[in-house]
Structure 1
Amino acid sequence: MPDITVPIISAYAGGILIILQALLMVLTGLHRGKAGINLGTGGDPVMERKIRRHGNLAENAGLFVAVLAIAEMTVVPSSTIMIIAIGFLVARFSHAIALSTEAGSQGAEGGKIFVLARIIGAFGTLLSFLALGGFLLFNLM
């Protein structure tokens, strides 16, 4: 029977991401209640940003953590897993911060730092996905 490695790094990453997801969910719900919006955005651009911030994390985090755990339990070295996981976490926090502002989501004047945070978030997520998939496939060969 093969020796199964418990995916500890993936568990830490998953724990951090699910807390971030819960926080974004609460912030979205609080805004929804305050603005009197039952479903959708109600034409409120702040609500739209909060929904996208929450939804974008949900779209990316689950698949990432699942594949990270598979990579960690099989063939990818722990040091590589750690670097990729940290990169993904930094990217997702950067993206959430960027979408907390009009400047980060719409490129409004005077918000270059938030636009940069969104770029870091988007490209960091993409690079994390490509690195994880690449290292997993390379090490399986």
Structure 2
Amino acid sequence: MTVPIISAYAGGFLIIMQAILMVLTGLHRAKSGINLGVGDDPVMERKIRRHGNLAENAGLFVAVLALAEMTGVTTQVIMTIAIVFVVVRLFHAIALSTEAGSHGAETGKIFVLARIIGAFGTLLSFLALGAFLLLNLM
């Protein structure tokens, strides 16, 4: 069994991203006086979803990536899936930083596209990782 080094790198990048989003959400809470929930603040809602969406996806991804790496899925496959996942999660976080990306406003269509890339890239990363893991175990 190998030590999952690529998974560790991916986990390192993702936990730093998670910490940054957490701090930005907390700072907005302090500034707006919203202690719990979103209040009537759409910016707070975006920041919570941006932070929460990464939390919902990153932990499971890193755990399964490490399993795939430890069970012998090729380094090239692991590295490719890890890089794609980290990049598309950045796209998603950037998209949810804007009203256009979160609510589909008419201006800023590039952010809508970034959110779509982030969401579908996450889905494809999950599916590819799961498929490679299962195929490797057969």
TM-score by length of 1: 0.97
- Map 1:28-107; keep pairs closer than 5 Å: 28-107=25-104
Candidates 12, 17, 26, aligned match of 2:14: 17
Task: Tell me the residue number matched to 2:115.
Answer: 118
Take 1:38 and 1:63, find their aligned partners in 2: how far apart are those partners?
28
- Gap regions ≥5 residues in structure 2: none
Take 2:2 and 2:40, find their aligned partners in 1: how far apart are those partners?
48
Take 1:15 and 1:55, find their aligned partners in 2: how far apart are those partners?
18
TM-score by length of 2: 0.99
Take 1:64 and 1:108, find their aligned partners in 2: how far apart are those partners?
30
Runs of 4+ in 1 over 2 A off after TM superposition: none
Cα deviation digits, residues 82-107 of structure 1 (max 9, x gap): 00001100110000000000000001
- Gap regions ≥5 residues in structure 1: none
Superposed displacement of residue 111, structure 1: 1.0
Take 1:10 and 1:45, find their aligned partners in 2: how far apart are those partners?
34
Aligned residues: CA RMSD: 0.5
Cα deviation digits, residues 36-61 of structure 1 (max 9, x gap): 10100011100000000000000000
1:50 partner amino acid: K
How many aligned residue pairs are there? 138
1:123 partner amino acid: F
